[in-house]
Amino acid sequence: MVMSEIHHPLLQTSLERARVKGWEQDAPPPPSLQPTAVALQCLLSGSWRSDTSCRMVVSTLDKDNRFSGFYLPGPAAGYSELLTSPLEGSQQDTRLVPQPTFSFTVNWRLQDSEMAQTSVFLGQCYVDTNGEETLHALWLLREAADSPEEDWKAIR
């Protein structure tokens, strides 16, 4: 039951809206960073792997539910010029919303290139009946344009 398929121009990662192959938790946060009282889910801290073997590593959420981390391109992405790139974002408080929405920005680092590219991701974390977490996300890529007349082609 695929509602839509999206291909990221840099990563060629296909995401299915019904079950996100693109983002499954690769590794939970270390035990020292996991909650002790109530088992909270959909904390984005940890490592997430895409269906093209890209990885998103997210630090511990701060008290305002903000996080940082990095995005590592995978070999299946097919873009050797893509380097590990920083990301920053935030998510809703999981104590208030059990399946929170989130957003993050990736400022792409490209090998041997000064080209400025940024992607924003907006999505929601879902927990299925087996307790498995998946992320459903949409993205928008912005490249630097040389002039306002070329602005129309800078967004994908």
Check: pTM over 0.85? Answer yes or no: no
Instruction: Compute the chain's Rg from CA coordinates.
Output: 16
Task: Please give the structure tokens belonging to residue 94.
Answer: 């999981």
pLDDT tens digits, one per residue of 67-124: 999 998 876 555 667 788 999 999 999 889 889 999 999 999 888 777 888 999 999 9
Query: CA 10, CA 119: separation in Å to the nearest integer?
Result: 10
Domain 12-18+37-153 CATH class label: mainly beta
Instruction: Count the helices and strands in the chain (H runs, E runs).
Output: 0, 12
Query: CA 116, CA 119: separation in Å to the nearest integer?
Result: 10
Task: Please give the structure tokens belonging to residue 118.
Answer: 């940024």
In the chain, where the domains are located: 12-18+37-153
Neighbours of 131 (CB within 10 A): 8
pLDDT tens digits, one per residue of 2-16: 333 333 333 333 333
